[in-house]
Structure formats: structure tokens, C-alpha cells
Structure 1
Amino acid sequence: MTSSDCRPQGLTSVSNRPAWRPRPDLWTLDPAVLHLNHGSWGAVPRAAQEAAARLRAESEANPAAWFRALPDRVAAARRRLAAWVGADEAGFALVPNVSAGVTVALTAVDVPPGGRIVVTSHCYGAVRFAAERFARLRGATVVEVPVPLTASPDEVVALLAPAVSGASVVLVDQVTSATATVFPVARLIELCRSAGVPVIVDGAHGPGLVPLPVPEGADFWAGNFHKWACAPRGTAGLVVAPRWRSRTMPLVVSWSEQASLPERFDWQATADYVPWLAAGAALDMLDELDWPAARAAVSAMLADGADEVANAAGGEVPELAAPAATMRLVALPPSVRVEDKAAEEALRRRIAREAGAEVNVTVHAGQAFLRLSAHAYNGPGDYELLAARLPVLF
């Protein structure tokens, strides 16, 4: 059992700073493991697991009745998720994940032969692969704009401005996966709009992490609900601006082909709709936690924990201009070399095996980092234990 499991629960105040007391009881996570990588796969709380189990039992008790009732139930779930992120319901479609949402968006925009798809050096790997595939299909090119890790919002905008001019489409991160940085999305959208260039926002980490995560003026925004919103995996939203709605189509052609957006995304034949329907139970749990207040306390706790881990590992916490609320980077010492994806995975597995901790390993501009991310089940003791176990690995 981790030390965080033994602590009292709830919020307290120490020197006017919120102190977090974890709620691992709301999840079914293995207490023998330090779960410090919520940002990758999320963790489905007990209430949402139980709701999903009831729904699956219902679907198998009478499949015909289940599928007859699905359209109304999916529409209700979609409306609730749209409201939770402050999206226009008429342009909010459900998709399995952000990779699917970005792929849909790239299908809808015009990228002519010789066109340019602009990304940054912080772009998520799968999204970069999607951009490269569409560039190959259309005879276009992918232009990567290098953005330093510690770039200020002004610097990010200034670096992207030359590449935006004349681009076919721009792909930007709301919260970067590899570097846990909040990008100045509103200003980047304004930059693209002034240049007449459509912009797709990768908001994978937005729901539950960024207040009102759907940015005004974006042509497309896609966000995952399985991360900070804790919904069952396979739940994501795609927000489409009015000008693109008539041409935005699901990747799977099914009986909803003639419907309008967002209904045409509701029915993808015999897919698994349980995650969408059970997502509301996760939102209920977050409401009961008063998640916005809890998130602030978790963020403060994680900042202290990251400093402790960095000191123990012989690294440092980079001074980011806009770090994500509940994610922190710990730069690893120069002796730790991570040169490719295989090496990243090898180090993750070694830390899991030898330190009993699930963390993410990322690389940016040749520098290796631990990316620590937290939710309501984490407590200070988790980082104390990680700090005690890491030195023998490096």
C-alpha cells in the first residue's frame, strides 16, 4: 500500500495554500503500484466502471432492445458531454479519441498538391503521423516549427507566424503531451484566422484540465474525456465550426450517412457505445469532488512532488512559461540517454519493474524527461516513495 492511501481525505489549508488529501477509494487501482501517469491512459473511477458493467449487462440481456434505444441515449450523453466542456451542441460530435478526431478534421479541410500542413516540434506522435499520411496522399508537405521548451507565449506566436502565412492548415496543441506545456491557443487561432488558414486544435488533455477547454474561433477542436474527465476509454469529442459541418464526415460509412452533424457520428454500426453512456458517472464523481478546487490542490501537491523527485534523480524541473496544471516534467540527468521510442519504452518498463511506479518518459530536443501527472487518487506520499526508489536506477 502506498503512503498516500493511509492519509485522511479531503482539502485542508496550510499557510493559505490548499493541501491535498487523496481519494484512492474512488478508484480500483492496485495500491501496490505508484500510479503517476494519469495523463497517458487515465483511470476509470469505480462509479463509472459500475455504470459500464450495468450497461453491458443490459446490452446482452436483449441486444435488439439495446440497439433500438441507443440513438436517444447516445444523443443525451453527447449533449451532456458538450455542455460539460462548454461546446456548441450543434457542432459537437462523439469520436473514439483525439487521433480519430484529428483524422476526421484533416479529411475535411482542403490541402492541395504542394500545400503545407504546419505542426510544431511539440506535436503528438500519432497526430504527426496523421499529418504525414495526408501530406503523402495529397502531394503536400509537413512543415515543423521548432519551439523551445521554455518559450514564452509571445515567442510561440512569433515562431509560428512565418509558417502560418500561406499554409493549408495548422495543427496546434492545447496542452502538449511530450512537454506538459499549455500553448497560447487563443492567440494562435487569432493568428491563423487573420491569415485565412484553418486551424485544428489537439485538445487531448483539455477536458477536466483546462477550464472551458473549447477555444473560440477554432475550426476544429478534439479532446479526450478518458484523461482528466475520467470517462471510460473510447470517449472523445470533436467540435466543428459552422463552416465545416456540412463536409465533416465519420471515418466509418454506416446508416447515419445521410444525417447531419453531429447525429451522423452517433451511429457507427455495431460499435461499443458503453463508454459514451457511462461517461456521465465519471462527471458526477468529479462534481462531487468539486474538481476545479481539487485540481488546484493536486497541482500544488504535484509541484512539490516533482521538485522532490528531481532532487532525488539528479535532475531538475524545467521553468516552463505555462506548465499544465496537473502535469510536471522532471529533466533526467545527462547520463540517462533516451534516443528513440524503443529506449523510452525500455526505461518506462524498468521504472515500473524496479521502482514499482508507472510514469511516462518523454523526449524533447534530445533531452529526456519523466512526465509526472496526477489526479485525485494521488498524494504526497507517492512522490516521496518515487524519490526514495529512483536514485538506484540512475
Structure 2
Amino acid sequence: MIFLNHGSFGATPRRVLRAQQDWRLALERQPIHFMIDILPAALRTAASELAAFLGATGQDVAFVDNATTGVNSVLRSLRLQPGDEVLTTSHVYPAVGKTISYVCRRTGAVPVHVAVPFPCAGPQEVVDRVVRAMTPRTRLLVIDHITSATALVLPVHELTREARQRGILVLVDGAHAPGMLPLDLPTFATDWYTGNCHKWLCGCKGSAFLWGNPESEAAQSDIHPPVISHFLDENWPAEFDFIGTRDYSPWLSVPEALRFLQDLGGERVMEHNRILARKGALVLQSTLGIAPAAPESMLGSIITLPWPGTETPSDEMAQDLRRALWENHRIELMVLCFDGRLWFRISAHAYNEIDDYERLAEVLQTHLPSRPGVG
């Protein structure tokens, strides 16, 4: 098997799964003692360890199930007014885009999607287009740190600086960033930053965080999880920590995922993954005669490239091609339709080798003429 889509759902190591199971068993041995006496402190310990990895403090980090939940927590808590504008880009993650639309429909606010071309010329093109779209009515900027479909590392520092100068709140969707890029959240100066632990941190499914900037008046004030439960209005992390009877083991096992990443090499393995992804992209570009879609400065451990075939672009066709690669060649690859074209997204993690990309290039070069799939 060649697995080149780590970005969608990650991959959880056995030792992290064992840690998760240990927490589950601890709950089942004595659920009253666990929920009342053990869980509150254990969650705060886990949050503090995660916060240290993020350059933050534990009291500013709340656990959520995934980055989309973090986005919902902020968007559905803000008291938007009719005519307020929520600004994002054409590369926004679909679930986040739908959340923006939903909240705007209910409040009378206006969603504004800035068209950012893909291929992208560079970070300044993104900054220029987003800044031009900012108006006195812009209340919130929702920006990806690393876009999902197009795999662009966006200039978060510059965009946040421009927004804050205009009094615009900033929410960063960092779904792919933790474990892919070194993070020091306070340096971003955003109001909120949400990210997943199940992707590049290799944590368990259902583990993510929402960081509220303690220097921002709005960040931890009147922001609530989507599920309102016993600790409404208690304080920022407590309200998120306990949202009723549920499996808290994905959050509690985050420290083991952090230790696993550190044992792999920490920031060294992050750099290794980024370098391998670029080398793999070069192999594919050279073999298939395709061009890069972004400069190196905007690339991480996932890279999106133009599909080299002539298939009519559609979401259905993209899924047919993905299935064919898996069923016929045991290659797992993200194939997608974006802005009227077909693309494919590769990933790199510690288990990948350059041979994986050479094999993909060989398969695509040899079998592309066949339709409807790669057979």
C-alpha cells in the first residue's frame, strides 16, 4: 500500500491507540470516580502539555472534537449584526464556508469570499486581494493557515496584522498546521486559532483545540462550545472541558501523540516531511510534464498538483479516479475538483519514501489514457 493522503484523517500509531484505550478502561472501571475526581484535572494536564507544544498556556487552550467544531464555537457565539461582513477566501474549507453561510443567514451578516487564483503567484497576491476586500463593515476574517484542497500555506502573520490594524477580528482555521509546521500561537496575534490533533500530530480521531488569545478582549468572552452544558458561563476552558457524558479519551491521549512526535524527531520530522513532499512533487512534475501550482514558500507536507489527464472535471470524476487508484494499484491519493479543474494532492509523513511518488508517477503516466478510471 502507498498512502499519500495523510492530510484527510491522519494516521494514529498503535502506542497512541493503546493510551486511548487505557483511558477508556479507566473510565469503565469506576465511571463516577473517573468523571468527577479524575477527568477535570486530567483534561487540564493534557491541555497544558498541548499548549506548551503550541507556545501557549493551558488556560487559553480548550479541547474540541475537530477544527470545524472550533470554528462553529466562535462563529455561533459572536453577536453579528445585519450588514456585518465575514471575510474569507475562495479556498475556504467547505464545512467552514457552510458554517459562515449558516451564521450569516441567521444574523443578517454578509459572507464575502475573496477570489484567490490557483495556481497562486505567491503570498503577496493573497495579502493584496484580501486587504482590498476589507471594508469598514468587515467584522471577522476567517482564514486558513493551510488550505485543504489547494494545500497553500497562507501568510497568516501578514493577514492578521492588516486585519487588526482595521479593528477586524481574526479566526484562523489551522486544521493542518499542528505537527506540520512549528507553531508559536501568541506570535500570530490572532483572536482565535483552531487546529486538529488527529492529522499531523497523529492523535486520535476527535481531538482538536481552540486557542483564545488572552490579549484579545473578545477571544474568551462569551464564546461557547456548540453544546451548552453544566458549566455555561463558568470560564473559558471549563465550559469546553465538560459537555456531558461522552468519550474524552481522544483529548486525554493527546500528550501521548505529542511524545510520539517528539520521539520521531519533533521539528526535524516536520522538516523531513516538507522536504520529502517537495521532492515527490518534483518527481511527478518531471515525469508527467506538469507545472507547480505555488512557490516553495507556500508549500508544506501536502502539495496539490494539476491532474495530468483530460477527464472532464467533476466531483464524481475525481472520486472515480481516487477509487480506481486504490482498487487497481493500492495507492491512496486525494483527487479533487477545484475552480473548474481536476487536481491531486500528495502528502508526506515519516512512513513515506521517494519510491512512493515514483510509483505514482509511473502509474499515472502508464494508465492515464484509460477512462473512466486509472486501470
* TM-score exceeds 0.5: yes
The question of whether the paired residues in 2 share the 8 Å contact of 1:175 and 1:182 is answered with yes
Q: State whether structure 2 residue 355 is matched by structure 1 residue 381.
A: yes
1:277 corresponds in structure 2 to: 252
After alignment, is 260-269 or 364-373 more displaced?
Answer: 364-373
2:372 corresponds in structure 1 to: none
Q: CA RMSD in A?
A: 1.7
After alignment, is 286-295 or 75-84 more displaced?
Answer: 286-295
- Distance of 2:133 and 2:173 partners within structure 1: 18
- Distance of 1:213 and 1:174 partners within structure 2: 13
After alignment, is 213-222 or 100-109 more displaced?
Answer: 213-222
1:265-306 Cα shifts (integer Å, max 9, x gaps): 100111210011111111111111112112222322222222
The question of whether the paired residues in 2 share the 8 Å contact of 1:151 and 1:321 is answered with no
1:216 aligned residue (185, 188, 209): 188
Which AA in structure 2 matches 1:39? G
Matches within 5 A, 1:341-360: 341-360=315-334
The question of whether the paired residues in 2 share the 8 Å contact of 1:94 and 1:265 is answered with yes
The question of whether the paired residues in 1 share the 8 Å contact of 2:88 and 2:112 is answered with yes
1:204 corresponds in structure 2 to: 175
Q: Closer, same or farther in 2 for the Cα pair 1:111/1:342, shift >3 Å?
A: farther
2:18 corresponds in structure 1 to: 50
Matches within 5 A, 1:1-394: 33-68=1-36, 69-149=38-118, 150-166=120-136, 167-214=138-185, 215-242=187-214, 243-244=217-218, 245-320=220-295, 322-333=297-308, 335-339=310-314, 341-391=315-365, 392-394=367-369
Deviation at 1:115, TM superposition (A): 2.0
The question of whether the paired residues in 2 share the 8 Å contact of 1:121 and 1:144 is answered with yes
Deviation at 1:331, TM superposition (A): 1.0
SS in 2 for 1:322: helix
Deviation at 1:321, TM superposition (A): 5.4
- Distance of 1:295 and 1:61 partners within structure 2: 38
- Distance of 1:204 and 1:41 partners within structure 2: 11
How many correspondences in the alignment? 361
Deviation at 1:317, TM superposition (A): 3.0
Deviation at 1:138, TM superposition (A): 0.9
After alignment, is 330-339 or 198-207 more displaced?
Answer: 330-339
Which AA in structure 1 matches 2:302? M
SS in 2 for 1:262: helix
Deviation at 1:390, TM superposition (A): 2.3
1:318-358 Cα shifts (integer Å, max 9, x gaps): 2435333211222112503322x333323222221122111
The question of whether the paired residues in 2 share the 8 Å contact of 1:152 and 1:321 is answered with no
Scaled by the length of structure 1, the TM-score of the pair is 0.87
After alignment, is 314-323 or 200-209 more displaced?
Answer: 314-323
After alignment, is 327-336 or 95-104 more displaced?
Answer: 327-336
- Distance of 1:333 and 1:389 partners within structure 2: 12
The question of whether the paired residues in 1 share the 8 Å contact of 2:121 and 2:294 is answered with no
- Distance of 2:121 and 2:79 partners within structure 1: 30
The question of whether the paired residues in 1 share the 8 Å contact of 2:59 and 2:237 is answered with yes
SS in 2 for 1:246: coil
Deviation at 1:246, TM superposition (A): 2.1
Q: Closer, same or farther in 2 for the Cα pair 1:333/1:207, shift >3 Å?
A: same
The question of whether the paired residues in 2 share the 8 Å contact of 1:355 and 1:386 is answered with no
Which AA in structure 2 matches 1:234? G
After alignment, is 307-316 or 150-159 more displaced?
Answer: 307-316
Deviation at 1:158, TM superposition (A): 1.2
Q: Which consecutive residues of structure 2, in runs of 5 or more, have no partner in the other structure? A: 370-375
The question of whether the paired residues in 2 share the 8 Å contact of 1:314 and 1:332 is answered with no
- Distance of 1:70 and 1:38 partners within structure 2: 31
Structure 1 stretches of 4+ with a deviation exceeding 6 A read none
- Distance of 1:345 and 1:213 partners within structure 2: 37
Identical pairs, percent: 34
Q: Closer, same or farther in 2 for the Cα pair 1:319/1:170, shift >3 Å?
A: closer
- Distance of 1:320 and 1:355 partners within structure 2: 30
1:215-238 Cα shifts (integer Å, max 9, x gaps): 532111101111111110111110
1:219-263 Cα shifts (integer Å, max 9, x gaps): 111011111111101111101134121211111111122420112
Which AA in structure 2 matches 1:383? Y
Scaled by the length of structure 2, the TM-score of the pair is 0.91
SS in 2 for 1:118: strand
SS in 1 for 2:226: coil
Q: Closer, same or farther in 2 for the Cα pair 1:213/1:388, shift >3 Å?
A: farther
SS in 2 for 1:178: coil
The question of whether the paired residues in 1 share the 8 Å contact of 2:293 and 2:306 is answered with yes
